[in-house]
């Protein structure tokens, strides 16, 4: 029942975020209606360089399996529920884009954000993590740190003053650290860096002279020997170029990551499974030229 309540709350939050987008979209459209009707696309459509930075308010749901024994038994720990880690976080996020080539159809992009969580909790039920069993009533300290570094190349297959449609190829580089410890018991931890390739598509629409709608989806499914990795990442954002070189934006980011390593022959210093889902609202300022 608790998981159903969490899912219901997440759906309500997502619906509320969508309503905020609709309100922002309607207001911006009303402000720029005259320019849109006159088709006054006088400024350059696609900026050569842009840098946007802001806050990312995310809802987190993570599951962890450490060790081949627990992996074979299908024992997965919900770290938010079992260990008391935060289900929502506010983090700083930065992204940069550079367009190049004769018609600016090529692009290079970079993104970064970092989520660090820790908690102390008295266990309400016995849990098994790695080679250790943590009994009911044990006070445990846990830490879960995830860094997302994105680097990708993009090419616009179709581009004019109003629309840019293209594909991307790049990498998700994810340093991840997880640990659980308690007095009198062995600490269980893992730390690894997973560089995962991604394919994607994007659509950028110039709705009015100042209002832009940007969407992208990136995905991966990779299964090699004892390693399986899956990623889906969806971004939706509205941007308003309020001033000549400065603007503001709001967006939604939905992401799911699954990494499974079955034995120690993997190049990753990790055996087990990591399942992560985060979704949230991104508010940012943008500099461009």
Question: Can you identify the CATH homologous superfamily of domain 49-288?
Answer: OMPT-like (2.40.128.90)
pLDDT at 266: 66
pLDDT at 240: 97
Is a pLDDT exceeding 50 seen at residue 34? no
Cα(67)–Cα(127) distance, integer angstroms? 14
Mean pLDDT estimate for the chain: 86
pLDDT band for 51, please (50, 70, 90 cuts): very high
pLDDT at 11: 45
Q: For a pLDDT cut of 90, what percent of the chain falls above it?
A: 66
pLDDT at 43: 46
Is a pLDDT exceeding 60 seen at residue 279? yes
* pTM over cut 0.85: no
pLDDT tens digits along 177-226:
999 999 999 999 999 888 889 999 999 999 999 999 999 999 999 888 78
pLDDT band for 1, please (50, 70, 90 cuts): very low
Domain ranges of the chain: 49-288
């Amino acid at each position: 029942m608790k998981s159903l309540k969490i899912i219901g709350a997440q759906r309500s939050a997502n619906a509320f975020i969508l309503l905020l987008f609709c309100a922002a979209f309607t207001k911006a459209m009303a402000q720029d209606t005259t320019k849109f009707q006159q088709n006054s696309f006088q400024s350059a459509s696609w900026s050569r360089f842009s840098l946007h930075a802001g806050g990312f308010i995310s809802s987190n749901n993570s599951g962890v399996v450490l060790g081949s024994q627990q992996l074979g038994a299908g024992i997965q720990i919900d770290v938010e529920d079992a260990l008391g880690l935060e289900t929502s976080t506010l983090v700083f996020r930065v992204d940069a884009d550079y367009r190049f080539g004769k018609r600016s159809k090529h692009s290079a992009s970079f993104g970064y954000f970092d989520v660090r969580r820790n908690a102390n909790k008295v266990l309400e039920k016995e849990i098994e993590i790695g080679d250790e069993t943590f009994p009911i009533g044990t006070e445990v300290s846990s830490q879960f740190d995830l860094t997302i570094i994105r680097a990708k190349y993009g090419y616009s297959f179709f581009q004019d003053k109003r629309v840019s449609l293209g594909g991307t190829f790049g990498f998700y580089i994810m340093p991840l650290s997880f640990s659980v410890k308690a007095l009198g018991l062995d600490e269980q931890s893992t730390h690894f860096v997973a560089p995962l390739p991604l394919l994607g598509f994007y659509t950028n629409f110039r709705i009015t002279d100042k209002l832009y709608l940007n969407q992208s989806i990136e995905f991966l499914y990779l299964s090699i020997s004892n390693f399986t990795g899956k990623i889906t990442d969806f971004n939706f954002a509205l941007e308003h170029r309020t001033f000549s070189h400065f603007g503001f934006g709001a967006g939604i980011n939905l992401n799911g990551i699954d990494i499974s390593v079955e034995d120690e022959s993997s190049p990753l210093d990790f055996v087990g499974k990591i399942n992560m889902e985060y979704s949230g609202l991104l508010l940012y300022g943008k500099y461009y030229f």
